[in-house]
Amino acid sequence: MHRQVPLTFLLLTILISSWAMADVHASSVNYSIHGEKISVALSLHFFQNATEMPILSTKYAGSSAQSLTQALEEGIRKKMPSASVSSLSGELVSSRDWINTTIRFGIDGTSTRKGDLLVSNCSWVPFNVSRDLRFGNLSYNLIGATYIRPTFARYIDFDKAPLNETIAQVTYLLGQNEIPAKFAVQRAGNATLLDFTSLGAPIQGWFKSYNLTKDMTTWVYNPGPALNMTMTVTPRDGRPLVSHAFYRYNATLSVDGLAEADGETVRIDWYGAYDPLIMLGVIIASLVVAIVASWKYRSRRREMPRRRK
């Protein structure tokens, strides 16, 4: 009973710190449709302190950009074979317990024109990359398999010799729920930076809004944490060792003009996208006509008394 009280307090502390990390380490995934071209901007933040990672600050260029381009294209083509990736750029910064990266690229081959209608197939959005991508000795994609799983697996048999001599208890949490050790190790090992399968809900079900001023339709989706795990190792003597792994991203899809979504397909009225410009032209033209008419009317009024003389 005495052991349960501090353990409960410890778990509460872990949950509070996890909620705090949700705000600090949230990522953004942004897709923009401009005509038949799609631009992608990924701003990703992955936190884990199960083990130390190499410290690095670099840009995607040369062979690293080529490898990442091929890996992204490979993952996207599993969802949509006609897609291609181009114009990749970005940077990566890593510390001993986090990886931050920004990746920008374009996607072609996912949109088609049908008269005044532009149809964009977004079935590729929940793609994932399974390659082990590296900068030197840093594995920045398969983070779970490389850095988290080995530490989580180390204590899977803590109740057996020789670990039971020094370890009193090991607890694994997925979010707020305690889970079995083997499942935790498997789940941790599957954690991947470029895994967006959590975005599998059809675009039609995302939160939609339309900005009249910018003439832009936007869909927003928050799938919740892609990974939120905690391992607490309680020794027989000394302080508990707490390891976290947290990764979360929100998605935004923006389209020029007034658009509608049907399942995973987005339809844009190509002619309708120019309506605001036409309306603005009509308003300006009408204003000019009114000003000219007013000026002529006033000129005639000024000339009328002179004609009477």
pLDDT in tens, 245-265: 999 999 999 998 899 999 999
Q: How confident is the model at residue 239 (pLDDT cuts 50, 70, 90)?
A: very high
pLDDT in tens, 131-142: 999 999 999 999
Please give the Cα distance from 102 to 198 (Å, whole number).
19
Does the pLDDT value for residue 7 go beyond 50?
no
Same-domain pairing of 145 and 15: yes
pLDDT in tens, 43-54: 999 999 999 999
Same-domain pairing of 79 and 207: yes
pLDDT in tens, 63-102: 999 999 999 999 999 999 999 999 999 999 999 999 999 9
Same-domain pairing of 247 and 277: no
Same-domain pairing of 186 and 306: no
pTM given for the model = 0.79
Kindly state the DSSP code that residue 309 receives in the 8-state scheme: -
Q: Domain limits at 277?
A: 273-309
Q: How confident is the model at residue 270 (pLDDT cuts 50, 70, 90)?
A: low
Please report which helix (H) or strand (E) contains residue 13, including its range. Answer: helix 4-24
Tell me the average pLDDT of the chain: 86
pLDDT in tens, 286-303: 566 567 656 665 666 555
Whether 101 contacts 129, CB under 8 Å: no
Tokens of 160: 């057996």
Same-domain pairing of 229 and 298: no
Report the number of distinct structural domains present in the chain: 2
Q: How confident is the model at residue 10 (pLDDT cuts 50, 70, 90)?
A: very low
Same-domain pairing of 129 and 45: yes
Q: Pick from 259, 251, 258, 186: which is nearest to 223 by CA?
A: 251
Write down the pLDDT at residue 195: 97
In the chain, the N- to C-terminal Cα span, in Å, equals 114
Same-domain pairing of 154 and 31: yes
Same-domain pairing of 189 and 83: yes
CB neighbour burial string for 250-264, b if at least 16 within 10 angstroms, e if fewer = ebbbbbbbbbebeeb
